[in-house]
Amino acid sequence: MRIAIIGAGMGGLTAALALQRLGFEPRVYEQADELIEVGAGLTLSPNATCVFRHLGLEERLREVSVEPSHSAVRHYQTGEWLVSRERGPSVEAEYGAPYLQCHRADLHDALLDSVETNDPDCVVLGRRFVSLEQDGGPANIHFADGSSTEVDVVIGADGVRSEVRGSLFTQEAPIFTGHVAWRGLVPVDGLPEEVTPDSGISIGPMRLFTRYYVRRRELINVVAFARMSGWEIESWSEHADMEELLTVFEGWNSEVRMLLEAMPPELCFKWALFVREPMENWTVGRATLLGDAAHPMLPFLGMGAATAIEDGLVIARCLKQPGDVEAALANYQAARLPRTNFIMQESTKRVAQLQGDKPETYDRAGERNEESLGLFEYDAGTVPLQAAAG
Ligand SMILES: Cc1cc2nc3c(=O)[nH]c(=O)nc-3n(C[C@H](O)[C@H](O)[C@H](O)COP(=O)(O)OP(=O)(O)OC[C@H]3O[C@@H](n4cnc5c(N)ncnc54)[C@H](O)[C@@H]3O)c2cc1C
């Protein structure tokens, strides 16, 4: 089976590795000429780390990740702890896989190494997908450099501005949420005080500050959110204005101020948060979508990367089942779409709790977070793959 994956991000590379493990030889077409270090931190909850266990990547992932012992919620002004939650070994004991936090580039490197060790020709760089055509048989995909290739399956894993999605469906304009975010990395060396616990957030009206250790605790990943209008650039590489960021978080607790003041400007980026409506269908003929291309979500449950990773293993399992490609893609969509649409909706709702007017009333009992919603319990390696109805 000739399988083309468009996009060598988290979802595309996980799908490639899972397919290789099941005996396929996929090709991943990536628009970038070079895969350089981009992005900052990602949270990998047990529903994501169990995928890497199935794929034999857990040890490598642990080497570059941090397993926080606790994660906590603080009041934005006083710094008082409102909720503290145990992480570390207790998560693994309960869900069967660890809760880890890592630099996006470290996970990306680990995935790329494994995929290329299995097949050095798997990832093809400098190939930007532009269109596809299919009429019942194999699909033809076309690239910006003028080349084309015929394949049996097309998996669009080309991220939040997916061109595969645009070629299969009428694209609706993304909707600006009124939220902007800054993300940056703070070197731990030289910080005046230790930051504890390993993973924490500070919550306040219309603002949210999150931070956790990555890269063997050498760096602290910081993401700060605020409701703002008048700035709508959805990019991973737009540099931030540090003075603006410090002004937005004026009056916040000393930990927040310390980290913002210590953040090197060249490591701080600003982006506007957009939503797309959940889709009811991702698949046309022999082409489907995966990860942010299928279900872009707000980051308030920390599930964007995790759901792309789950998709990668489930689609490989579906393609391995007996039957034709169309049936496999229908089964994949049936297995994944209800869960990812639910998580999209809950990610949008969660912000009201995190940025409420009275953070002092925030408590564990009322929390509607990724753990209390039961999202950690999902295992993409064993979840039943039933034939899609109809
Ligand atoms: C540069 C970058 C930095 C990021 N930084 C962070 C971060 O700091 N924190 C965080 O939580 N999330 C970050 N993300 C998002 C996060 O990686 C995704 O939300 C999540 O992992 C879902 O993965 P995905 O594979 O669906 O999409 P992505 O990881 O976005 O990968 C999509 C891939 O498709 C490629 N692509 C796009 N269009 C085409 C095309 N037409 N033809 C071929 N290839 C194409 C892209 O270059 C990219 O490699 C970042 C994404 C990117 C692309």
Which structural domains are found in the chain, ordered by start?
3-72+98-173+277-354 (3.50.50.60)
Q: What is the pLDDT of residues 335-383, one digit of tens each?
A: 999 999 999 999 988 888 888 888 888 776 677 888 888 899 999 999 9
Ligand 1 center to 189 CA (angstroms)? 29
Beta bridge partners of 28: 5, 123
**What was the pLDDT predicted at 109?**
94
Ligand 1 center to 182 CA (angstroms)? 17
Residue keyed to tokens 């503290």: 84
Give the separation between CA 28 and CA 17, rounded to whole angstroms: 10
Give the H/E segment covering residue 118. helix 104-118
pTM over 0.85: yes
Lookup: tokens for 68 = 């926080």
Residue keyed to tokens 């033809």: 140
Atom 14 in ligand 1: residue holding the nearest Cα: 39
What are the backbone angles phi and psi of residue 140, rounded to the nearest 5°? -110, 125
Residue 152 has pLDDT above 90, yes or no: yes
Atom 50 in ligand 1: residue holding the nearest Cα: 39
**3-class secondary-structure state, position 211:** strand
Residue keyed to tokens 């229908």: 330
Ligand 1 center to 158 CA (angstroms)? 7
**What was the pLDDT predicted at 357?**
82
Ligand 1 contact, 11 CB (< 6 A)? yes
**What was the pLDDT predicted at 85?**
87
Do residues 281 and 329 make contact, with C-beta atoms less than 8 angstroms apart?
no
Query: How many other CB atoms are there within 10 angstroms of residue 200's CB atom?
Result: 20
Residue 297 has pLDDT above 70, yes or no: yes
Residues with Cβ within 8 Å of residue 7, at least 6 apart in sequence: 28, 29, 30, 31, 156, 157, 158, 159, 162, 291, 293
Average pLDDT, the chain: 92
Residue 387 has pLDDT above 80, yes or no: no
Ligand 1 contact, 6 CB (< 6 A)? yes
Ligand 1 contact, 236 CB (< 6 A)? yes
Q: Checking phi first, is residue 302 left (phi over 0); if not, alpha (psi -120 to 50) or beta?
A: left
**What was the pLDDT predicted at 180?**
93
Active site residue 212: yes
Q: What secondary structure letter does DSSP report for 34?
A: S
